[in-house]
């Protein structure tokens, strides 16, 4: 009888990245006046195959706006899709205007995900910080004197 101990494994050193990945998500502001422009900036990468090569040539950005507190249970009040953005070396950097889509006088939550053109798995959703919109009202008071 022959006994063998030890040995080598043919298993790769780690699993391939089976989803595209959002590596950075930032918003330009956390408090806005109703209707004010606001942007989010995103960096994302393609998913990789078992050899470590990027397999997507394009990513689409899907972003959703929710009333704060309802992002895990409610429906988004807005969903935007920016399709078929070309990647450079498997990476994407993009800035998107979303302030015009925010509900007035509300605290909203922004969630973003990317989907590769290989369509195997979308990235995990990434939640940005809450954004508060408020109404600004200016009026002259009767006791004001410009002199």
**What strands, in cross-sheet order, belong to the sheet with 126-134?**
31-33, 126-134, 107-116, 58-67, 78-86
pLDDT at 76 over 80: yes
The three-point CA angle 128-132-136 to 5° equals 150
State residue 123's pLDDT score.
87
| Cβ atoms of 50 and 18 closer than 8 Å | no
* pLDDT class of 15 with cuts at 50, 70, 90: low
Percent above pLDDT 70 for the chain = 88
The rounded mean pLDDT for the chain is: 85
Q: Residue 84: left if φ>0, alpha if ψ -120 to 50, beta else—which one?
A: left
CATH classification code of 21-134: 2.60.40.10
Q: What is the pLDDT of residues 105-138, one digit of tens each?
A: 999 999 999 999 987 788 888 887 899 999 988 8
Q: Which pLDDT value is given to residue 78?
A: 97
pLDDT, position 6: 38
Please give the pLDDT value at position 121: 80
**Average pLDDT rounded to a whole number, residues 87-110:** 96
Q: Is the pLDDT of residue 14 over 60?
A: no
> Who has greater pLDDT, 119 or 34?
34
Task: With beta carbons less than 8 A apart as the criterion, state whether 59 and 87 touch.
Answer: yes
Domain residue extents for the chain = 21-134
């Amino acid at each position: 009888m022959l006994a063998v101990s030890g040995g080598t494994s043919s298993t790769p050193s780690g699993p391939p990245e089976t989803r595209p990945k959002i590596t950075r998500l930032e918003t330009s502001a956390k408090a806005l006046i109703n209707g004010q422009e606001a942007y989010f900036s995103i960096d994302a990468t393609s998913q990789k195959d078992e050899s470590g090569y990027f397999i997507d040539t394009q990513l689409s950005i899907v972003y959703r706006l929710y009333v704060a507190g309802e992002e895990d249970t409610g429906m988004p009040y807005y969903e935007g899709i920016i399709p078929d953005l070309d990647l450079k070396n498997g990476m994407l950097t993009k800035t998107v205007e979303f302030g015009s889509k925010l509900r007035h006088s509300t605290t909203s939550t922004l969630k973003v995900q990317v989907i590769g053109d290989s369509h195997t798995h979308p990235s995990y959703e990434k939640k940005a910080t809450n954004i508060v919109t408020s109404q600004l009202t200016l009026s002259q008071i009767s006791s004001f004197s410009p002199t």
